[in-house]
Structure 1
């Protein structure tokens, strides 16, 4: 996709003029970049969600293991 500089130089009145075909091509490329960005953001959101879920599960397992070890140590020391 061409950036805005690739569309040509503005005229004397600082307006950039282009024909319909050139505009349609630019708009098509712009929309394609928009879709790429949306897809990338969805992927990153999903990866973040998965990592967050994995972290939550790890915390639950470690917390349970620590509690179980504490109970075992208590019963060992009392007995």
Structure 2
């Protein structure tokens, strides 16, 4: 699982995921999961910014979804 506060698309995290998939896919037990900020224009309002940025809840939700496929419990 890759986690970054930047947008998911076109950033460093996307490049790292692509390299991992290309070079190490045979050693991975599952798909590469990426958790990042929503792909929207960056808000200037602090309240909207909190909605866009990645937080612990986003990471836990992605982990529960991804690892739940194999019958593992996240919490």
Larger relative contact order (CA 8 Å, sep ≥ 6): 2
- Higher helix proportion, which one? 1
- Higher strand proportion, which one? 2
The structure number with the bigger radius of gyration is 1
TM-score normalised to structure 2 length: 0.30
